[in-house]
Structure 1
């Protein structure tokens, strides 16, 4: 199989609004349209003063993560949006080809290298797309998840052996 799509269990997802600062929980803040990783979290740039923190699968530690962020002096607001989006990992030789069926973002590594993070449309569905060394992480709203999975299965057919 040259395309592999795996849905992850619900991950901790926290929207953080910042007044100023250079790091969250010891991880440097990303530049526009990128994400940074460290300490088992990803921090995605979502706008000029807005970040999405992706943590491990939901657990009791999720509340501790939210509390730690709330204590950071630069944080204006921390909102738990963990159940808002489904997380799908898309990997394989033809993962970018599958995405090209419904996404206008140029996923050539010279244009969108690993570390790129964008909000875009994929098959008329709003997504957050993270480009990783090993493939892509796609965050799609829960209410569009069934449609997205059906579209993904259809778009992948020609690449499945």
Structure 2
């Protein structure tokens, strides 16, 4: 198989608003349309003063407390808002090209890219990783999205 989609259920997801700062949880803040990773968390740039913190399941309370102590203006647990999928494999980029207008060529969207976009009429957050892509899709669109992905992947399955 040259395309593999794996769901990562119950990921910790916290929206964080900051007025100023250079790091969160010991991780440098990303610039526009990027994400940074360290210490078991990903920090995604979502807007000029808004970030999304992703971590393994069950870390909501621990991270929310640490963020508030670090001076975050607002921290909201949005873990139930989006499903998280990893798309890997030789043709993962090709499958995404079927429904996404973002140019995913590595010269245009290098590792560390993080964008909010439409994919087959569904709002997603797309992260470009070394091992493939991480996709965050709203819970209410998850079934539609995975069905669409499965259909778009058929030509790449051997």
* TM-score (ref. length: structure 1): 0.97
1:146 maps to what in 2? 143
Q: How does 1:26-65 map to 2 (within 5 A)?
A: 26-57=26-57, 59=58, 61-65=59-63
Q: Secondary structure at the match of 1:98?
A: helix
Q: CA deviation at 1:152?
A: 0.4
Q: CA deviation at 1:127?
A: 0.1
- Residues 120-139 of structure 1 deviation map (CA, whole Å, 9 limit, x = unaligned): 00000000000001100000
Extract unaligned runs of 5+ from structure 1. Answer: none
Q: How does 1:125-144 map to 2 (within 5 A)?
A: 125-144=122-141
Q: Pick one of 67, 81, 85 that aligns with 1:84.
A: 81
Q: CA deviation at 1:105?
A: 0.2
> How many residue pairs get matched?
158
1:102 maps to what in 2? 99
Separation of aligned partners in 2, 1:130 and 1:10: 18
Separation of aligned partners in 2, 1:98 and 1:64: 37
Q: CA deviation at 1:156?
A: 0.2
1:160 aligns with 2:157: yes
Separation of aligned partners in 2, 1:121 and 1:141: 12
Extract unaligned runs of 5+ from structure 2. Answer: none
